[in-house]
């Protein structure tokens, strides 16, 4: 696994590390954690959290 590049693979928001869509696409699958930039429509996130996240994206 290659080292992550700040600004390309992730960024900081307050005290949190936020993974980018690019990082997730390179990973190749949804991890099920409800990541902010998930390009896989949260396919592995359990209900009811999956529906909540999808509704937030629409808002």
Give me the residue spans of the domains in the chain.
10-58
pTM of the model: 0.83
Q: What is the pLDDT of residues 6-33, one digit of tens each?
A: 999 999 999 999 999 999 999 999 999 9
Q: What is the pLDDT of residues 45-54, one digit of tens each?
A: 999 999 999 9
Question: Residue 50 CB: number of other CB atoms within 10 A?
Answer: 17
Q: What pLDDT, on the 0 to 100 scale, is given for residue 52?
A: 95
């Amino acid at each position: 696994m290659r080292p992550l590049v700040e600004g390309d693979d992730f960024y900081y928001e307050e005290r949190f590390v936020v993974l980018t869509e690019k990082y997730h696409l390179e990973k190749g699958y949804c991890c099920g954690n409800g990541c902010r930039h998930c390009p896989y429509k949260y396919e592995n996130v359990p209900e009811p959290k999956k529906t909540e996240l999808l509704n937030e994206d629409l808002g």
